[in-house]
Structure 1
Amino acid sequence: MTTQPEDRNRAWGPDTRFPPPRSPVEETATDLPALPEPERGAGGILRSGAIMAVGTLASRVTGFLRTAMLVAALGTGALGDAYNTANTVPFIVYDLLLGGVLTAVVVPLIVRARERDPAHGARYEQRLFTLAVLGLALITAVAVALGPVFMSIYGGSMHGDQRELAVLFARLFAVQIFFLGVSAFSGAILNTRKRFGAPMWAPVLNNIVICCTAGAFLLVASGGVDPSTIGTGEVGLLAAGTIGGMALQTLALWPSLRGSGFRWRPRLDFRRGELGEMGRMAVWTLAYVVITQIGFAITTRLANSAGVAGRAKHLGDVGYTPYFNAYQLFQLPYAIIGVSVITALLPRMSEHAAAGRFGDVRDDFSTGMRLCAVIIFPAAGLMGVLGPEIATVLFAHGQTSVANAEVIAEVLRMFAVALVPFAAYQLTLRVFYALQDTRTPALIAVAVVAVNIACALAASRLLPTDKIIVGIAGGFALAQTTGALLGWAVLRRRLGGMDGRRIIATDLRLIVALWPLLGLAYAVHAVLRAGLGTGLVPGLLALAAGSAGGGLLYLLFARLMRVGEVQTMIGTVTARLPGRR
């Protein structure tokens, strides 16, 4: 599955130019409240990721507002499927041709070049940026021309007015590829210079523009619009807002770039061997991206086909858009805590790996897994129990009914099963990247995508039409579990263990602490649904009571179970409240 604009600049860690490495305890001993020694390294990671987590939270909250506004304006049917499928294409093309290389290859090369020689590193940065701008311009022009081809691949059974509109959107939205690539490269440069704020907050501007666009569309397209009735002005409005939001996100990074000392002077005078080095590292990364995008293309096509069949059978909107919206909700907990923890961990893991301290790499991974679990376990539980209320509050507006939101909730509940293995799989991938191994992730991806495709095909053939996207989400969960287990097995041999006992012990205690949350959330869900039915007000009440009350019970029982990571998180947060030092 591809990610949205706000996800793009989150995978790169800070510059690794600092004094000789110390232990995790030494690195943060002076910055944290008094805690047991094993918890101090975890607290340091939380502190390092704080600004990233806040920025991620802001972009995700506004991102969900954007998604809710688009669902209200476009619905979850034919128009929404055409828009969302076409708007996914720029991110697919970017991932295939630059995104994976940028994440796993280009940024480490820039950092190492700067460490060897700051002047050479600056010139190398200029050359790579110039190459990226020229390549992005060419890629964008080709993608505009290939709009019909992309819709043939991803559009499933789209035909008639829906296909024509999707092709038009695909051509127009392809312009985003240029801005998306420049934005991602700019964010990568800022992260290597320890400038985390702008890459985290710039997507908020994009989201605000899209929200305004959706609001304007609601005003000018009153009475409902579909692919056969949408006007030229309404298409232009959606295109201008979608492209303009990405352009603004890109431009917003330039003041911070200049403040960091970066000045772009176009140059292509690569030294002998520089491009070859990049190519050798990029081959397996590109293979990984291509493999995963094959799986995404098939699942997207099957979801769109289910939507077309569902409308033909008068089953409602059961296609790609409900699947897409559920996936956006599913990613939120990982985006807030997982990405922030990864960004803080990756430089440290890379440093330990380069020095041959694999025990420290293992400890870093263990810390990341346990910290992520503190948030991801309750998030998965709440999604599973309160999925209908979450979907109703966010999406049951405008052209989207409560019944449409219930479809999203069904998919979300299945995605909730995938949340824990998804986070584990993503963390194992970063350990491989820290070890400068891009080959193993590509090989593991073959198995992951094979499971995903097999399950998606089985769902499309064996399940009723209105359950196909739920089955596809179930296949995604099984595929992520496969990836996590395979990555764990390989790394266990390579690192001499994975600190499995401590990770499993923490997870078991968290599961025990989770049951009171699940019980209260389900009771609130059942009582309010029986007494007030479905809708915005019952949904809001259920979310407020279930998540707040359940969250407090979870924290209480986690502390009673002596889960050190919860104590660390609470201590790190409360130490920075007003009046605390």
Structure 2
Amino acid sequence: MSRMLRASAIMAAGTMVSRLTGFFRTAVIAAAIGVAALGDAYNAAYQIPYILFDLLLQGVLSSVVVPLIVKAQKNDPDGGQAFEQRLMTLAVLGLTVIAVIGMALSRPIMELYTASNWSAHKVDVAATLAMCLLPQIAFFGVGAMAGAILNTRDRFGAPMWAPVLNNIVVIGIGVVFYKVGTSNIDTVTRGDLLLLGVGTTAGIVAQAIVLIIALHRAGFRFRPRFGLRDSGLGEAARSALWTFAFVGINQLGFLVTTKLSTGAGDRAPGSGNSAYSYAFQLFQLPYGIIAVSVITAMLPRMSRLVADGELGAARSEFSSGVRLVSSLIVPAGLLLLVLGPAVTTLIFSWGHMTPEDARYIGNVLQVFGLALVPFSIFQLLLRVFYSFGDTKTPAIIAAVNATINSALSLVAYFTLPARYIVIGMAFSYLVTYVVGGGVAWALASRRIGGLEGRAVLGGLYRMYVAAIPAALAALAILWLTREVTEITAVSAAVVLAVGGGAGLLLYMITAQRMRVPEVTSIIGLVTSRVGR
């Protein structure tokens, strides 16, 4: 536990700064372009490089590449160096080709992912932005592969800190666009779009450069290697087939979500894809700071333990990871449920965004807050399968999730008033991960011989009991503030500082008195650092 906690703390510090600057970045971009037609076009185009990268490499990195690099480092005479070089060569060349093809097909891609009721001009704007953003794919590949190699060498800091530079670059671009551009899609110029699109891509380029430098300092020397015979990549390709299926199924579900949310935005401006996208980004903040840090540290160790046949130790590693993540995710989820609109009022009620737009994003975020715990545990469960090199089972579970989420989202789209569609879609996401998490738990438990479920459930029960008074305290501060004044950006900041701070402090005190060991360990780590 202490080793995982220390490694996770290093990553969490970088991730926290990264996500907080990401908060500011999101606020600046939203203020510059709004959540109406231009905002929807930008957010739809912005997601395309991530979708294609996810389809082509991201899932393979987490499920296949890290366990195989660990295996090569252990078994190959050169410590896996040639294997790493071949992987890097393949990723750089393959993703560069995909980026070029994507740029050529930017308009058909945008027509696929956007609502059929979009005007030709709106699709043109989105396609222009996508063409500027698609080169990111190649730099995503370089950075992600560098991050994977660094993680297997227990170098966790750079992958978590590098996005900060990306955020700073894009913040600068957003400020410039706010000064010289326009949020009106009918009057936006090609120069405005190039500034927005190329500037966003420049942030990813800067992020990749930081990771390349960190990888060089870790001792990795890149030399292009093209020979595939006896390289071990055949095993990677076989494992990756199911991973591609997993990612492809998820992206089909994402396609449905994007089409429905963009359609909802045309029916009720300000209540569409931008609102859903911004709320989802904020929902990912606590997951990214807390859960991703633990997952990144946990997967290489679980892979080593499974490879050595130490399943009991692997079970303990997983159980410790779940309880450590939940000790902070549980109160974060409840506080988002209470303070979601205050968070978004502080971040989004600026520039071309109205307070009403900001509060609506907060309503969507409140529902996402309920999904934080099941979503995080689900992601941890996938690492059980990946540590065994099993990519088939996650693909099957993904099909279940995509079916549930798409079906419930369609029900929301056709039955709810336009203003409430994306809120209903967020609820669909919650139900999906509750059901999917239950299925994943049962299958993972069978695979590894148990997941110490009694200890996990007991820990979750104590965490929720400790978190409820914290949420009530935050709710009381919010209610008192509303009685005195309207919730503006200033009063929202007060609510978050007082209500959120008091809530977290109350949770820590209550959890420590209830002897929740994970919270006690976190407090001990923090006090020891402060004491120095």
Query: TM-score normalised to the size of structure 2?
Result: 0.97
CA contact (8 A) 2:177 2:196 kept: yes
Tell me how far 1:107 sits from its aligned partner. Answer: 2.9
In the alignment, structure 1 residue 339 sits paired with structure 2 residue 292: yes
Cα distance in 1 for residues equivalent to 2:379 and 2:401 = 12
Cα distance in 2 for residues equivalent to 1:293 and 1:218 = 32
Report what 2:202 is aligned to: 244
Q: Mapping of 1:290-309 within 5 angstroms?
A: 290-309=248-267
Tell me how far 1:67 sits from its aligned partner. Answer: 0.4
CA deviation vs aligned residue, 1:57-88 (integer Å, no higher than 9, x gap): 11101111100100110111111110111011
Cα distance in 1 for residues equivalent to 2:87 and 2:518 = 40
CA contact (8 A) 2:99 2:135 kept: yes
Aligned residues: 531
Letter in 1 for 2:330: F
Q: 1:540 to 1:120 in 2, by over 3 A?
A: closer
Q: 1:118 to 1:398 in 2, by over 3 A?
A: farther
CA deviation vs aligned residue, 1:348-401 (integer Å, no higher than 9, x gap): 222222222222222222111111111111111111111111000011100001
Which of 135, 156, 159 is residue 119 of structure 2 equivalent to? 159
In the alignment, structure 1 residue 112 sits paired with structure 2 residue 65: no
Runs of 5+ consecutive residues of structure 1 not aligned to the other structure: 1-41, 312-316
Runs of 5+ consecutive residues of structure 2 not aligned to the other structure: none
Which of 145, 156, 175 is residue 196 of structure 1 equivalent to? 156
Query: TM-score normalised to the size of structure 1?
Result: 0.89
Q: 1:577 to 1:469 in 2, by over 3 A?
A: same
CA contact (8 A) 1:173 1:243 kept: yes
Tell me how far 1:182 sits from its aligned partner. Answer: 1.1
RMSD, matched Cα: 1.4
Query: SS at the partner of 1:576?
Result: helix
Q: Mapping of 1:416-495 within 5 angstroms?
A: 416-495=369-448
Tell me how far 1:493 sits from its aligned partner. Answer: 2.1
Q: 1:560 to 1:124 in 2, by over 3 A?
A: closer
Report what 1:399 is aligned to: 352
Query: SS at the partner of 2:24?
Result: helix
Report what 1:270 is aligned to: 228
Tell me how far 1:118 sits from its aligned partner. Answer: 4.2
Tell me how far 1:44 sits from its aligned partner. Answer: 2.1
Q: Which moved more, 1:65-74 or 1:158-167?
A: 158-167
Report what 1:168 is aligned to: 128
Tell me how far 1:290 sits from its aligned partner. Answer: 0.4
Q: Mapping of 1:32-47 within 5 angstroms?
A: 42-47=1-6
Letter in 2 for 1:228: D
Query: SS at the partner of 1:49?
Result: helix
Q: Which moved more, 1:84-93 or 1:247-256?
A: 247-256
CA contact (8 A) 2:150 2:156 kept: yes
Cα distance in 1 for residues equivalent to 2:445 and 2:121 = 53
Which of 502, 507, 510 is residue 557 of structure 1 equivalent to? 510
Report what 2:277 is aligned to: 324
Cα distance in 1 for residues equivalent to 2:88 and 2:231 = 17
Report what 2:107 is aligned to: 148
Q: Which moved more, 1:342-351 or 1:325-334?
A: 342-351
Report what 1:285 is aligned to: 243
In the alignment, structure 1 residue 372 sits paired with structure 2 residue 331: no
Q: 1:555 to 1:453 in 2, by over 3 A?
A: same
Q: 1:109 to 1:505 in 2, by over 3 A?
A: closer
CA contact (8 A) 2:408 2:428 kept: yes
CA contact (8 A) 1:369 1:503 kept: yes
Q: 1:402 to 1:118 in 2, by over 3 A?
A: farther
Q: Which moved more, 1:484-493 or 1:103-112?
A: 103-112
Cα distance in 1 for residues equivalent to 2:461 and 2:65 = 39
CA contact (8 A) 1:43 1:569 kept: no
CA contact (8 A) 1:172 1:239 kept: yes
Report what 2:57 is aligned to: 98
Report what 1:29 is aligned to: none
Tell me how far 1:455 sits from its aligned partner. Answer: 0.7
Which of 70, 74, 82 is residue 41 of structure 2 equivalent to? 82
Cα distance in 2 for residues equivalent to 1:569 and 1:274 = 40
Indicate the percent of aligned positions where both proteins have the same amino acid: 45
CA contact (8 A) 1:179 1:250 kept: yes
Cα distance in 2 for residues equivalent to 1:229 and 1:138 = 34
CA contact (8 A) 2:151 2:296 kept: no
Tell me how far 1:275 sits from its aligned partner. Answer: 3.5
CA contact (8 A) 1:510 1:558 kept: yes
Q: Mapping of 1:224-243 within 5 angstroms?
A: 224-243=182-201
Query: SS at the partner of 2:529?
Result: coil
Tell me how far 1:43 sits from its aligned partner. Answer: 2.3
CA contact (8 A) 2:33 2:183 kept: yes
